[in-house]
Amino acid sequence: MTRRDYLNPPIEEAVCEFRFAPSTEWNLTVPGLVYEKIRDSYPGEPRQQNLIAAEILAGKMPTNPEVTAKMSFTKLLFSSVDTKRLVGVGPDLLSVHSLRPYEGWGDFKKRIDQALKAYLEVSKPVGVTRIALRYINRIVIPSVESVEIYDYFTAYPQIPDGIPSHMSGFLTRTESIYDDIPVKLVIILADTEAPKGQIVFMLDLDVSQDWTEKSLSLEEAVSSLHELKEREGRVFETLITDRTRELFDVK
């Protein structure tokens, strides 16, 4: 089942990210040259985003790994006037963002194609090393004091006997790999702060594939992205119930 079209989709942010195998060493002129090709669509004030890379160092005692954080690289973000549509460019990296209200996959895909074309023309990478598609959903249940999670989700925390069954908060994270192709799926389901009279859940879906030994050809990138989108849609629809769908005004 693919993800359905909803009049009121719960998508807080959608992000598509490409990482590339470079043909030459990265240089700081690339973001500006990409921007010149897409600036009509993103006339907002560019801003800088510093990305932190975490590194885990296993010592002699594996139960006490050392975690270090270091500044990895800077990504420049180009935005639409309303700041709801963004493109990020960093060293061998391109990201395209869609913030609420979600524009729909058709328009989002057009912006991805436009940004990818501009990046490839400027940077000329030899291939793709990673594609990731992430959807962060904010699901609002109005005018209730409490809910049964199973009324809205097909996967949820299980409370064994002997533990208080009234949950005041929860967070679950699941990572899995598909059997047919090495696509990684990360599912995070959690409750979050909500205005009085509402209960809010965050359902975060991240599907990705890496090509570490041999990079994916640029010609295959679009079809691989389509495959990730199909899987994300099926996972979303599998995890929610018809009662949840009613919240989104299914078409």
Tokens of 17: 């990210």
For 191-208, what is each residue's pLDDT tens digit?
988 888 889 999 999 999
Region of poorest pLDDT, from 20-29, 163-172, 174-183:
163-172
Answer for the pair 96, 16: CB distance below 8 angstroms, yes or no. Answer: yes
Tokens of 3: 């993800």
Give pTM, 2 decimals: 0.88
Quick one: CA dihedral 145, 7, 101, 205, positive or negative? positive
State residue 216 phi and psi, 5-degree precision. -75, 140
Q: Is 59 helix (H, G, I), strand (E, B) or coil?
A: coil
Instruction: Outline where DSSP puts E strands in 157-220.
Output: 171-177, 183-192, 198-210
Is a pLDDT exceeding 70 seen at residue 152?
yes
For position 72, what pLDDT does the model report?
59
pLDDT averaged over every residue in the chain = 89
For position 64, what pLDDT does the model report?
57
Is a pLDDT exceeding 70 seen at residue 25?
yes
pLDDT band at 169 (very low <50, low <70, confident <90, very high): confident
> Which positions ≥6 away from 251 have C-beta within 8 Å?
4, 5, 6, 7
Q: Is 51 helix (H, G, I), strand (E, B) or coil?
A: strand
Is a pLDDT exceeding 50 seen at residue 54?
no
For position 94, what pLDDT does the model report?
98
Answer for the pair 191, 170: CB distance below 8 angstroms, yes or no. Answer: yes
Closest CA to 109 of 7, 218, 221, 208: 221
Is a pLDDT exceeding 70 seen at residue 141?
yes
The segment with the largest mean pLDDT, out of 85-99, 144-158, 159-173, is 85-99
Tokens of 250: 């299914």
Rounded mean pLDDT, 230-242: 96
Tokens of 143: 């005018």
For position 58, what pLDDT does the model report?
47
Region of poorest pLDDT, from 14-23, 138-147, 175-184, 239-248:
138-147
Taking the C-alpha atoms of residue 234 and residue 212, their distance in angstroms, rounded to an integer, is 26
Taking the C-alpha atoms of residue 65 and residue 63, their distance in angstroms, rounded to an integer, is 6
